């Protein structure tokens, strides 16, 4: 489930919703070696994570092989297909000759009588026209013309009688009522071949829309060196599905200057004709900005569950009330988090068990003078009229003024005592995140340390 496949699915989903149509899912598993259960499950999982649900039960193409074969029988009867009895050696010789003459492969059997057929294996080929043009009126690319002389007689049925991809998709699209085929532009050549199959069956082709590729930030074809490619990798890296939907929608399509929009707005605005024909570029900074926006909007309870799973994957020891702790602390630490992985990092301090094991750097801050000051601060915090950010900020400032020092003389040691050396929010945010009892308890633990 490549990110390009995910964007294609999203554009299909948006257009179906925009036009009041149906978003259909078909597993094109005619290649039985590649179509393993695991590979298919990746597709289901990726679409489910993105929140793109099909409107009908998914169709498995291999289960429709008998219908594909009867369609070929219809083409044979119409004269738009033929049985090709070339042996492998004869086919290789024809390929060599075709390359030398600068033309596509043409079997001598396309014009022979079936009565001359030998008793040996055969494939069934499309009897493609050799004159004229095939026009693709593409919604993204515009009018694209193919010279028929350059389109080969593609195989419809293999020697074992199994259907090929191009045949199967035509039959299934027609019978599933598909009106628009929106896919990557690496399939543009297939559109010409499939159009000829439609014509060979006497059917009307669908409306085509071929999307440009997604490139890396450097403008080259997206590859592993650019980072994540699969949808599952983006999920593992801590991106939220709503952020990915918003971001993917912006890769090659847009609505004015709008950068952030809801699914409902995207559905209302989306038209496949507005997709640009040039490749889009993956921009990590924009994706991170969007993800941070959606993290700040997300329900803390949902984020707590996601963060808990991250901690579990890191073998962090969680306690019975970890979800409640995370749900409480997340609103105070999420503003700076670009991903849920960063959000997990920012919550570690709140999950630590007392007494905290302070690193030596934190212990070095606890001079005798600092201990005395923290002891007096503890009393001021205990007497604070409320345990919220504004009140505790005011309490800290007032205490610093009463000591005749700046907060810089207090903050580092207090932060180290509260966090155990882990990342934490500002002082008041850390205190509120931990709660009064836990905060004062951590102060007591630190003040009781010797040496």
Between CA 178 and CA 167 the distance in angstroms is 15
User: What's the maximum distance between 2 C-alpha atoms anywhere in the chain?
Assistant: 108
Report, in this order, helix, strand and coil percent for the chain, each rounded to 5. 55, 10, 35
Token pair of 376 as six digits: 């007096």
Token pair of 59 as six digits: 């169709």
CA angle, residues 313, 231, 326, in degrees to nearest 5: 35
Residue 104's Cβ-count burial label (10 Å; 0-12, 13-18, 19+) is middle
Tell me the helices (H) and strands (E) count for the chain, helix number first: 19, 11
CA 254, 256, 258, 263 torsion: positive or negative?
Answer: negative
- Name the β-bridge partners of 214: 280
Per the CB < 8 A criterion, the answer to whether 418 and 430 are in contact is: yes
Between CA 340 and CA 352 the distance in angstroms is 19
* Contacts made by residues 204-207, CB under 8 angstroms, sequence distance 24+: 206/173, 206/178, 206/179, 206/180, 206/181, 207/137, 207/139, 207/179, 207/180, 207/181
Between CA 435 and CA 252 the distance in angstroms is 47
Between CA 259 and CA 256 the distance in angstroms is 9
Between CA 334 and CA 423 the distance in angstroms is 12
Annotated active-site positions, please? 224
Q: What are the backbone dihedrals phi and psi of residue 34, each rounded to the nearest 5 degrees, phi first?
A: -85, -25
Nearest one of 325, 326, 420 to 366, comparing CA atoms: 420
Q: Residue 205 gets which letter from DSSP?
A: -
Token pair of 265 as six digits: 């707005």
Q: Residue 317 gets which letter from DSSP?
A: -
Q: What are the backbone dihedrals phi and psi of residue 10, each rounded to the nearest 5 degrees, phi first?
A: -60, -45
Nearest one of 14, 62, 4, 7 to 34, comparing CA atoms: 62
């Amino acid at each position: 489930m490549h990110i390009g496949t995910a964007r294609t699915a999203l554009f299909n989903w948006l257009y179906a919703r925009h036009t009041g149509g149906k978003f259909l899912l078909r597993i094109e598993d005619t290649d039985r070696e590649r179509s393993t259960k695991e590979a298919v499950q990746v597709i289901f999982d990726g679409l489910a994570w993105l929140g793109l649900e099909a409107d009908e039960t998914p169709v498995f193409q291999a289960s429709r092989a008998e219908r594909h074969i009867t369609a070929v029988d219809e083409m044979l009867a119409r004269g738009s297909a033929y049985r090709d009895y070339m042996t492998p050696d004869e086919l290789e010789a024809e390929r060599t000759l075709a390359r030398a003459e600068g033309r596509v492969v043409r079997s001598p059997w396309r014009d022979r009588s079936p009565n001359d057929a030998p008793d040996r294996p055969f494939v069934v080929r499309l009897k493609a026209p050799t004159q004229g043009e095939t026009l693709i009126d593409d919604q993204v690319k515009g009018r694209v013309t193919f010279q028929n002389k350059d389109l080969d007689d593609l195989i419809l049925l293999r020697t074992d009688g199994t259907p090929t991809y191009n045949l199967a998709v035509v039959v299934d699209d027609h019978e599933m009522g598909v009106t628009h085929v929106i896919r990557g532009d690496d399939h543009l050549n297939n559109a010409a071949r499939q159009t000829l199959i439609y014509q060979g069956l006497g059917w009307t082709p669908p409306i085509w829309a071929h999307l440009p590729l997604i490139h890396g930030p450097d403008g080259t074809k997206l590859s592993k060196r650019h980072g994540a490619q699969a949808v599952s990798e983006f999920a593992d890296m801590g991106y939220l599905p709503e952020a990915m939907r918003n971001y993917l929608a912006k890769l090659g399509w847009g609505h004015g200057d709008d950068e952030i929009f809801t699914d409902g707005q995207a559905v209302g605005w989306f038209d496949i004709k507005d997709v640009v024909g040039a490749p889009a570029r993956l921009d990590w900074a924009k994706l991170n900005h969007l993800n941070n926006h959606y993290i700040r909007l997300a329900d803390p309870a949902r984020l707590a569950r996601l963060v808990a799973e991250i901690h579990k994957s890191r073998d962090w020891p969680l306690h019975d009330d970890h979800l409640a702790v995370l749900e409480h602390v997340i609103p105070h630490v999420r503003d700076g988090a670009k991903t849920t992985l960063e959000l997990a990092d920012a919550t570690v301090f709140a999950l630590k068990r007392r007494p905290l094991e302070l690193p030596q750097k934190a212990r070095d801050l606890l001079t005798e003078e600092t201990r005395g000051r923290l002891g007096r601060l503890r009393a001021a915090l205990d007497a604070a009229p409320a345990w919220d950010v504004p009140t505790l900020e005011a309490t800290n400032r007032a205490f610093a003024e009463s000591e005749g020092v700046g907060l810089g003389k207090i903050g580092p040691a207090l932060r180290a005592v509260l966090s155990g050396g882990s990342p934490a929010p500002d002082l008041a945010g850390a205190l509120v995140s931990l709660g009064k009892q836990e905060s004062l308890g951590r102060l007591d633990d630190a003040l009781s340390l010797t040496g």
